[in-house]
Amino acid sequence: LVSPWMENGTVLNYLEIHGHANVDKLLYEVAQGLLYLHSRNYAHGDLRGANILINQDQSACLADFGLSVISDATFSGSSTRAGSIYWMAPELIDPDHFGGKFKTPASDVYAFGCVCVEANLRSETYPVAMFKIVTGTRPERPPGMLDMLWQCINTYWVDDPAARPATEVVVQNMM
C-alpha cells in the first residue's frame, strides 16, 4: 500500500513548527479517523503521534496500519506485545491483571487519551509523562489544556476497558 506523500510530516512535527493553535482541530480529526476504523470493526492498534500525518490541507490522517486488527470478539488474531508501550492500554501490557489481550476500540481510545497529552506537551517532556502512565500513575495536566479536555482524557485512560467511552462519545467530546 502506497499513500500520498504527507509534506507536513507527523502531527508532532507539524505542531512544533506551526504551534498549537489548531491542536484541538487535529485531535478531532484523529477521533473521526478512529470512529471510521471502529465503525468497520477495525482497531488501529498503534495510535501515537508518530503515526498521525498531516496532509497538504493541514488535516490529520491516521497512518501505520501494520498493527491494525479486526475488532471482533470471535477474532483470535493480534494480541498484546506489538506496538509502542507508552501508548499501550493496561490490558495489553498486563493481560493477566487487567483481563484483556487483544487490541480493541477501547485500547485505541486509551491510546487516543495519550495522544491528546502528547500533542499538548513539548516533545522532550512526553516520555517522562508517559512513563508515569505505564507505571500506573498519570502525568500532570499539560499547561494550557482546557479543563473539559483534561476531564475527557481521564475517562479515556481508565484501567477498565469497559469503562472507557465509545468512540462516538470521544468524537462528540472533541467537537
Question: Known catalytic residue: 46?
Answer: yes
For 27-72, the DSSP string reads: HHHHHHHHHHHHHTTEE-S--SGGGEEE-TTS-EEE--GGG-EE--
Q: How far apart are CA 114 and CA 111, in angstroms?
A: 5
- Residue 158, Cα to own-chain centre: how many angstroms? 13
Per-residue buried b or exposed e for 85-105, using 16+ beta carbons within 10 Å of the residue's own CB: ebbbbbbbebeeeeebbbbbb
How far apart are the two ends of the chain, measured CA to CA in Å? 31
**Distance (Å, whole) CA 20 – CA 13:** 11
> Which residue out of 46, 64, 72, 96 is catalytically annotated?
46
Which sequence positions are flagged as catalytic?
A: 46
